[in-house]
Structure formats: structure tokens, C-alpha cells
Amino acid sequence: MVKTNKNALLKSILIFTILISFTVLLGGGYWIFKEQAPRPLKVTNVKGDLLFSKETIMGGQAVFQKYGLMDYGTVLGQGSYMGPDYTAEALKIYTEGMQDYRAKEKFDKPFSSLNDDEKAVIRSNVIKEMRENRYDSSKDTLQLTDAQAYGLEKVRAYYKGVFTKGDGWGLKAGIIKDKDMPSQNRAYVASGDQIKQISDFFFWTAWLSSTVRQGDKITYTNNWPYYQDAGNNLSFSAIWWSGASVTILILAIGIILFVFYKYHLGMQEAYKEGEFPQINIRKLPVTSSQIKAGKYFVIVAALFFVQSMFGALLAHYYIEPDSFFGIKWINDILPFNITKGFHLQLAIFWIATAWLGMGIYVAPLVGGHEPKKQGLLVDILFWALVVLVVGSLIGEWLGAKGYLGNNWFLLGNQGWEYLELGRIWQYILAIGMGIWLIIVYRGIKSGLKRENDKGGLIHLLFYSAIAVPFFYIFAFFINPNSSFTMADYWRWWIIHLWVEGIFEVFAVVVIGFLMVQMKLVTKKSTIKALYFQLILLLGSGVIGIGHHYYYNGSAEVWIGLGAVFSALEVIPLTLLILEAYDHYKMMRAGGIDFPYKGTFWFLISVAIWNLVGAGVLGFLINLPAVSYFEHGQFLTPTHGHASMMGVYGMFAIAVLLYSLRNIVKPEAWNDKLIKFSCIMLNIGLAGMVFVALLPTGFLQIKEAYFNGYAASRSASFLQQGIVQNLLTWRAVPDTIFLIGVVALLVFAVKALFNLRKPTHNENEKLPVKDLAVDEE
């Protein structure tokens, strides 16, 4: 009775945590909506002449998205790192233009010719002028001073050169092809000169980053990017909440560790020492749908290989931006921005497909039988995924190349990093996940009926499965006319909540389920442990999304919320290292005959990278004071590679191996090849992160601190000798990693030709552990 009450309390705490977390997140979203920078109906000079309009800003943003420029550079620090941050670059040009205008007006000579005292006067005056907010909310108009209007012209002239002649680095000449677009398609790209539109959009982001929010003392971007000539310096809130978040983290760690050990909230072994449960693969039941899931895992390995090859090409472009070892036609077909989009989308595709395949495999085990026509649904979903992957990649290429015209958003590249999928392909993805949920539900339905506890293990598995397609719905909240800041708010719901949060929840529940299924841990302890982990994951992770909102034009409140809850995200990730040790003990206890050694090697890898990649490296860049200088630099992909591949990728491989182990003939299984792959992948990833990305990120943040953020994102920084050497030597760990990928691909292809035959027919009861029944 006491244990039941404890679980009831944990359930109540989890429900309360979810309600409070999402209330704060949605409330904070409304605050972002109210506090975001205006897109004025008209922007005029002091004489009242129209300079540009809201339609121009929207059109410029659409041009930025249409040509996939977010997969080359960044705006407001959001995007990719080969190109510049266009906000910081435009701010520098805009500021220098104002300084020149005022210098000529006051001293009759350019700013560069002034002495130090004269420069100080001009700098001070320009800062005051550009930080004053002249937006009239009653008329929805913005008036620029003569100096600001001159700065605007400088921005336009600069980007006309860039998009006409190329940027001299990784952006080709003439990337923006069609200058005039039909006016009836203004929802996607406004009519007019697209180069002028994108220039005005960049200027607008520079304006909002240097203009004080009305009724406040800092800019719309909380004084980001760092540029002293524009008056942008680290804010007090960034410093305070960096310190406060660490303080709260230390306190929370102490409290949570006390609770964890006092109430024994970890999973408890279900076997006694020397009595490890024996698992005979040959006697495990196998159904038709489970066998058909095998082809999903071959596709996973193939997509992983292709995605990794694109990653290698991207790494090479940092050394040779316009060709691949002198072969220029490769860059003509696959320039950096398109390659980056493919690299990101394929990562999501192969990781998600592995988890979907595992869900298909697990469903009959939970329900205890194979539903009728389950195999047919599995085949339909498989071919839907093939159409999605091939069709979306072709669409993204055509869209970013400009061949789809104003259909780029529907069929091509939406232009948002990680959300490159055109809207039509997003619909297909959502439908596919819906079919997958139906497959899972049909498989586990009888188990759900048998389980009286609506918060039991099978129900938790089902709830987490529902969350996978449900949370993707928020991708449809982003439209071409959405403001950049609000679109970015919803974008991180997909990247942080869907990819990182919901999949993490699904992973935690699945690991618990598999451990119980293999009779390695008790069901009661697992359910209790799962509730505790979910409380920590969702309690910190949902609001922890706020670290993405520090400097993208969101309200200042997100600096406090993001700092505190991002810091707390480290706690559940740290606790998982204890789970890794438990997995290691179980694997050793199983001896040489333990059939799931490959799965456990990768599960241990997941736990380690969870701590190092998602925890340590994530904590480093999530402190507001660090993020202020680092936002959009190499330390971000340092954390990204370590967590995306180290955690979600390694876990995808773990579930792939677990599922294949049960449907592949035992005599065809090769643990040596799997162990080799695991070692090579871990060594390669560690080298990639710690030999190349982390040192480059350190040099880059140092450059930002001493010379301003724009300098740290310039091509000249990437061309420095030490940076080029680091990125060149990255080829060594990249090659090691690729060898691990090839080994996994070879293993998966061989497995496909050595699948077992189904042992049970549709609706025939399977001899498996009934997880709906409580333990004695």
C-alpha cells in the first residue's frame, strides 16, 4: 500500500509538472508575441519619404528562407556557421555608415580620418541616435534619421555586391536569381527586387538589435550582438542569471540526490547474484510485422551513411569552400547550404526511422499477439517513408536552387534550420507518424485493456508514443508571413521539445520497458524510476527551451527562465550515468552468452554522451553570459554533435540492434563487427568534438570578446591558420567515424539476408512476459 501511494504521489507530481511547465512556456510565448520588435507598416526618412515597408521585411525574410540561407549563415544568431551572422554584419555596416555620415557632417571628413577624441564624440552621438526608438505604435510607422537612412543605403549597397558577385567564401555569385516576383504570391515573396528586400530585412534585424525596446533600457535582442560601437554590451540580467542558475543548480542537485537515494528511485535488478536470466534467441517468438521491420533498420543504416558523407563534405567546405579537392562541379550541385540541409534532415530521418522500427517490433510483444493486416500497414508506412525521404530531398534541392519559384515553401525548402521540409512533405511526415501510431496502438491495445493501472508501464509507453506525432503539430504553426522571432519560438518546439524532449521521454520509457521485458529489472521499481526521471526531464526541459530565446528578439524574462531551467537539465542527464553503470554490471553478469551485448555497448555510450554532450557541453553554452558571446558559434555544434549523435544517434543504433537481434538468425549475428563499429563511432565522435570543434569554438568566442561578434563570424576568422589546421585535422576523427558507419551498414545489410521466419501467425498468442500483470 505504501508503494502504491508513492506511485500515486509521483503521478500527481508529474501531471502537475507538465501543466505548470507548459503553462509557463505558453505564457512566455505570449510575452514574446507582445514584446517582439515591430514590423512597421511604413519606414520613412525625416521627410516622410517611404524607404521600405512591412511587406518588404516579410519579402526579405522569405528570400532568406527560399534560398536556404539559414543553412549557410545566421540571422539573430540562428542558423549555420559557414557564413556570417547577417544581423551582426549588417549592424556593423549600418553603424559605420552612421559614423561616417555624422563625421562628415560635423568635421567634414570620414570617420576613419578623425583623431581619437573626435572619434569618441561621434561614437557617443551615434550610439545615442541609433538606440533611440522612433517607432510610432499609433501609426505603425518608423522614422529613420538621415544618418540611419544613409546606413540603410550602405547595407543595401554591400549586399547587392554579395548576392551579385558572391561573398568570396562559400556563397556563389548570383544565388538570388529572379529579381521580380508575381504580386499575387506576396505571402511567400513580395514583388520587387529580391536583393533589395533581403538587404532591408537584414537592416531591420540590425535595427531591432540596436534599438532600445520601448519602456526598457536594453534592445529588443537584449543587447545582442556584442558590438560596442552600437552600444551593445552584456546586460545585467545575463550576468545575474548566469550566477543564479549555477547557485540554484547546486542546491537542486543536493535535494534531488537526497530524494533519489532515500526513496530508492532507481531501477532494481530482478535477478539474484549468480542467477542471471538466460535468454535463448531461438525460442523467442517472431511475427510477420516484426520481420518486416527489418528493412526499416537497413534503411536506417543506409541513411546514416549518406548523412555522414554529407557531413564529411560540409567539413571539407570549411577548408575548400568552392570545391571538393578541386572538383568544382560537386560544389555546383551541392553547395554548402543544400548539403547542410540534407545533413540535418537525414539525421532526423534515420534516427526517427530507427525508433519507429523499434516501436513496430515491440508492439506485438506488449499486446501478446499479432493483429490482422499488421504487416500490410508496416509495408505501407515503409514506402511512405521512402517517398518522404526521396521526395523531400529533391524538393529541397529544387527550392534552394530557385527552380520552384514561389512554390518553394510548399514543395521545396521552408528555409528553417532543422525544418527544411516543404509543407507538403511535412503533411506526409505527419500522416506517416499517424500510421505508425495506429500500428503501435493495434499491437498494444490488448495489453492496454489488461493493464488496470492507467499509469502503468504499457500506458506510459502508449502515452510517450502519442507524444511523438502530437508534438510535431507545432511545426505547422510556422508560416511564410510569421515574424522571425515568433517562427523561431515555434521552431524550437520542434528541435528542443520534439527532437530532444519528447524523443528523450520515449527513449527513457522504452529502455525501462526493454529491461523489464528481458527480466533484468523489476516492473515496480521501473515504473517508479520512470516517473521520477520524467518529472526531472520535463520539469527542467520544457522551460529549459528558453536558452534558445535569449537573443532572438524574445522578452528579457527568458534570460532568467532559460538560465535556471537549462542548468537544471543537467541533473537528469547526470543521473543517467548511474544507469550506464547498471547496464555495464548487467552485461558483465550475463557473461559471454548474453545476446544483447551490442545493444548495451551503445546504451552505455548514450549515457556517457548524455552527461558529456548534452549535460556538460550544453551547460557551458547555456549560461547567458557565455551565450551572449558564443550564440551562433562553433561551441553550439560542439554541443549539437555530442548530443544529437552521441545521445539520439547512439540510442537509435541501440534499439536497432535490440530489434535485429531478435529477428536475425543467431548464427548470422556478429558481435565483433558491432563492437568494432561502436568503438570507431565513439572514438571518431570524441575526436570530432574535442580535437576540432571545441578548440575552434574557444578561439571563436575569444575573438568575439576582444573584437566584437561580427569579427568572430567573418570568413577572415575561419581563414586563420590555426583554425584551418584544426578543421583540416578533423579529417582524421571524421574518417574513423565513417569507418564505424560503414561497419554498421555492412552488418545491417547482411542481417537483412539472414532474417528468421515468423513463428506465430496473426492473432496467435505469443509466449512473452505479460507486462499488464503486476508482480507478486
pLDDT at 147: 98
Residues β-bridged to residue 769: none
Helix (H, G, I), strand (E, B) or coil at 232: strand
Residues β-bridged to residue 79: 74
Cell readout for 549 is: 530565446
pLDDT at 186: 45
Q: Give the DSSP per-residue string, 459-512.
A: HHHHHHHHHHHHGGGGGGG--TTS-HHHHHHHHHIIIIIIIIIIHHHHHHHHHH
The label of the residue with cell 535535494 reads: 255
Q: Give the DSSP per-residue string, 308-324.
A: HHHHHHHHHHTTSTT-B
Q: How far apart are CA 314 and CA 564, in angstroms?
A: 34
Could you check whether the bond before residue 666 is cis, i.e. omega within 30 degrees of 0? Answer: no
Q: Which helix H or strand E contains 415, and what residues bound it?
A: strand 413-416
pLDDT at 774: 65
The answer to whether 104 and 110 are in contact (CB under 8 A) is yes
Q: How far apart are CA 547 and CA 622, in angstroms?
A: 6
What's the CA dihedral at 310, 311, 313, 319 to 10 degrees? 160
**What burial letters (b/e) apply to 36-49, b meaning 16+ CB within 10 Å?**
bbbbbebbbbeeee
Q: Which helix H or strand E contains 35, and what residues bound it?
A: helix 2-35
Q: How far apart are CA 632 and CA 713, in angstroms?
A: 9
pLDDT at 191: 53
Q: Helix/strand/coil (H, E, C) string of 94-127? A: HHHHHHHHHHHHHHCCCHHHCCHHHHHHHHHHHH
Could you tell me the pTM of the whole model?
A: 0.94
The answer to whether 257 and 536 are in contact (CB under 8 A) is no
The answer to whether 566 and 500 are in contact (CB under 8 A) is no
What tens digit of pLDDT does each residue of 82-106 get? 999 999 999 999 999 999 999 999 9
Cell readout for 656 is: 536497432
pLDDT at 582: 77
Q: Which helix H or strand E contains 51, and what residues bound it?
A: strand 50-53
With a CB cutoff of 8 Å and minimum separation 6, the contacts of 748 are: 297, 298, 300, 301, 302, 656, 660
Q: What's the residue count for the chain?
A: 776
Residues β-bridged to residue 143: 44
pLDDT at 187: 45
Residue type for position 371? P
Taking 70 as the pLDDT cut, the residues of the chain under it are 1-6, 178-192, 576-577, 580, 771-776
pLDDT at 268: 83
What's the CA dihedral at 418, 424, 429, 434 to 10 degrees? 140
Alpha carbon separation from 286 to 31, 569, 713 (Å, rounded): 52, 39, 54
Long-range CB contact pairs, 470-474, < 8 A, 24+: 471/497, 471/498, 471/501, 471/502, 472/429, 472/430, 472/433, 472/498, 473/430, 474/498
The label of the residue with cell 510485422 reads: 289
